[in-house]
Amino acid sequence: MTFFLICQTLFVQMDQQIMCSSHESNKSDICLADCATTHTILKNIEYFFNLNLVEANVQTIYGISNLINGSGRSNIMLPGGTTIHVDNALYSEKSKRNLLSFKDIRQNGYHIETVNENNREFLYVTLVSNGKKEVLEKFSALSSGLYFTHIRHIETNVVLNKKINDPKTFIL
């Protein structure tokens, strides 16, 4: 129980820090960059352009939970205009936060590095092209050591793969 209360307090403090340092519009969602997650987890169906709806369990710090509602291909846009294509993102409408896997950043050909600027830590997403390194995105660090950014969905049409058991579903 004590562990649960410590985690809840940490999440509240994290949310307060993000809101204080956030200047993004209401059309974006907060996303934590996470080196420990095996998959990007998104809580908004609008990020997906192909989604297979299926209930699944996931291992969290609290134990096994049925947070996953589906998986599929998604595209997200970072504040600097960088697009991340994720082939196997997990959809979780119950998730409190979006999580962007370092693995998915790297699979898009980008590099990740931490930088200290004026005693503030940032996570840079960079691209090396023709021997030159370009900083594409700059994620702020929280006091917890996690990095956050804002993401937006890219306009797409969603294809849902779902078995229809009732043949009268589409009868007008």
Percent of the chain with pLDDT over 70: 75
pLDDT of residue 144: 87
The angle at the Cα of 91, spanning 69 to 42, to the nearest 5 degrees, equals 150
Q: Mind spelling out the 3-state secondary structure of 82-94?
A: CEEEEEEEEECCC
**CA 116 to CA 37: how far, in whole Å?**
24
**What's the total number of domains in the chain?**
1
Please check whether residue 112 lies inside any domain of the structure.
yes
For the stretch 53-94, pLDDT in tens is 998 887 777 788 888 999 999 999 999 999 999 999 999 999
CATH number at residue 38: 2.40.70.10
> What pTM value is reported for the model?
0.76
Residues with Cβ within 8 Å of 80's Cβ and at least 6 positions away in sequence, in order, are 136, 137, 138
pLDDT band of 162, cuts 50, 70, 90? low
Query: What mean pLDDT comes out for the span 107-127?
Result: 96
Please check whether residue 95 lies inside any domain of the structure.
yes
Per the model's pLDDT, the better-predicted residue between 45 and 22 turns out to be 45
Domain that holds residue 149: 27-161
